[in-house]
Amino acid sequence: MSRHSSILITGASGEIGHSLIDRLAAASSKPIVTLDLNPLVPDLARKVKQQFTGDIREAELLERIVATHEVDQVYHLAALLSTRSEFSPALAHKVNVEGTLNLLEFAQRQGESHGRPVLFFFPSSIAAYGIPTLAAKIAAGKISEDAFNFPTTMYGANKLYCEHLGRYYAQHYKQLAAETLSGKIDFRCIRFPGLISAVTVPSGGTSDYAPEMIHAAAQNQPYACFVRPDARIPFLAMPDAVEAIWKLVNCPKGQLSRSVYNVGAFAPSAGEVEAVVRKAFPSAVITYDLDAKRQTIVDSWPADVDDTAASRDWGHAPQYGFEAAFGDYLIPQIRKRYSR
C-alpha cells in the first residue's frame, strides 16, 4: 500500500488550527491529516484528508497515522493553555511536555525512515517569560527572546522546556551514538503573544480578556474584565499569526539565525481595548472585576516583545496594527458573524 506524503496538525480543532487548516489547504498541495480530542467542524473537515480523534499521548494512535501517511511536516498545536494548566499542573505537564515529546519522537522516526528532515512547527508563548515585578516589566519595554526566561506558570515552564526539547532533537539528538541521528527534525518555533480571532472565541487562556471583551460586546452581553485597565501585553490578529507561521516554515533554513522567534504587532492596555470596543459598540456593558492572581500572571508577561530577529530573518511584517486589527478585521467580521 502506498503512503502519502502528508502534513500532520495536532490540536487542529482549536483557534489556531481553524485558521491554519484554511491557509494550508489553500496554499499547499500536500494532504492534511489532523489529530485532536475533538472532531473538526464540518466546514474544516471537508478540507482535510483524514482526521484522527484522540489524545496526542496515545502511541497507538500515532502508529495508526504512520500506517497510512508519510508525515513530512508536523504543526504541533495541541496543548492546555495557561489558565487551565495552572488549575491542573500535573495534567498540563503530561499534555504539554510528554505530548510534545511523543510528537518529537514521532517526527524523528519519520525523518529517519524517509531520509529527509521533518519540519516541526511549535507554537510557544509569551508565557515563557517571567518578569519579577511590574516595575521591571515597565522598565524593560520590548523584550528580546533571551531575556527574562523565568516563567512563573506551569504552562510557561512547559513551553520554555519544549523550545529546548525541539532544539535538542534538531541539533543534538543522541549525540553520543556512533551514527549521527540529529538533523532529522527541522524545528521552528514562534513565541506568540495573545491571539485575537474573529472566527473563534478562546478558552482556558490568560490573554482571553481582550477577545472575550469584543465577542461579548458584539453579542450584546455584559463583560467583566478580570485584569486592571492598565494591564498591558502584546497581541496579534489571527491572520497575521497564520501568515507568520507560513513565512517561518517556508524560509530557507540558512536564513534562520535562531530556532525560537518573538512576533509582535500591537500592545494595548485592557483600557485601550475597552475604548475601541465601546466606540464600535456604544451600548457595550464592560466592567472590571479584578482577579488578582490572574493579574499577577499578566504582570509577569512582557508589555511588548522585540521581534527584530523575525523581521530580519523571515520578513515578519504584520498587516494589522492596533487600529487596523479592530477597524478592518475584528469589528467588521465579528459584527457579521453575530448578525447572522
Q: How many CA atoms lie within 13 A of 140 on its CB side?
A: 26
Question: With contact defined as beta carbons under 8 Å apart, do 130 and 151 qualify?
Answer: yes
239 interacts with ligand NAD by CB under 6 A: no
Cβ atoms < 10 Å from Cβ of 126:
28
Residue among 249, 269, 267 nearest 316 (CA): 249
Residue among 327, 319, 296 nearest 231 (CA): 296
Taking CB under 6 A as the binding criterion, the range among 5-13, 216-224, 249-257, 314-322 that sits at the site for ligand NAD is 5-13
- DSSP-assigned states of every residue in 181-194: -TTSEEEEEEEE-E
With CB under 6 A as the contact rule, the residue among 156, 194, 234, 264 that binds ligand NAD is 194
With CB under 6 A as the contact rule, the residue among 123, 151, 166, 318 that binds ligand NAD is 123
- What is the distance between the alpha carbons of residues 168 and 165, in angstroms, rounded to a whole number? 5
Residue 1, burial from CB neighbour count under 10 angstroms (0-12, 13-18, 19+):
exposed
Contacting ligand NAD within 196-225 (CB under 6 A): 202, 204-205, 207
Cβ atoms < 10 Å from Cβ of 116:
12
β-pairing, 235-237 vs 194-196, is parallel
Taking CB under 6 A as the binding criterion, the range among 33-41, 140-148, 284-292, 311-319 that sits at the site for ligand NAD is 33-41
125 interacts with ligand SER by CB under 6 A: yes
Min dist. Cβ of residue 127 to ligand NAD (A): 7
Q: Pick between residue 82 and residue 108 the one whose CB is nearest to ligand SER.
A: 82
- Cα–Cα distances in Å, from 25 out to 7, 45, 107? 10, 11, 21
Cβ atoms < 10 Å from Cβ of 261:
25
Site string for ligand SER, 82-121 (x = CB under 6 A): x---------------------------------------
Site string for ligand NAD, 71-110 (x = CB under 6 A): ------xxxxx-------------x---x-----------
CA pseudo-torsion sign 199, 201, 204, 208: positive
Residues touching ligand SER, count (CB under 6 A):
8
Residue among 153, 157, 161 nearest 206 (CA): 153
- What is the distance between the alpha carbons of residues 100 and 335, in angstroms, rounded to a whole number? 37
Binding partner of residue 79 among ligand SER, ligand NAD, none, CB under 5 to 8 Å per kind?
Answer: ligand NAD
With CB under 6 A as the contact rule, the residue among 55, 70, 306, 313 that binds ligand NAD is 55
Taking CB under 6 A as the binding criterion, the range among 27-35, 46-54, 205-213, 234-242 that sits at the site for ligand SER is 205-213
Give how far the C-alpha of residue 43 lies from the chain's centroid of Cα atoms, to the nearest Å.
22
Q: Pick between residue 82 and residue 100 the one whose CB is nearest to ligand SER.
A: 82
81 interacts with ligand SER by CB under 6 A: yes
Min dist. Cβ of residue 184 to ligand SER (A): 28
By CB under 6 A, name the binding residues for ligand SER: 81-82, 125, 127, 194, 205-207
By CB under 6 A, name the binding residues for ligand NAD: 10-11, 13-17, 36-38, 55-57, 77-81, 95, 99, 123, 125, 192, 194-195, 202, 204-205, 207
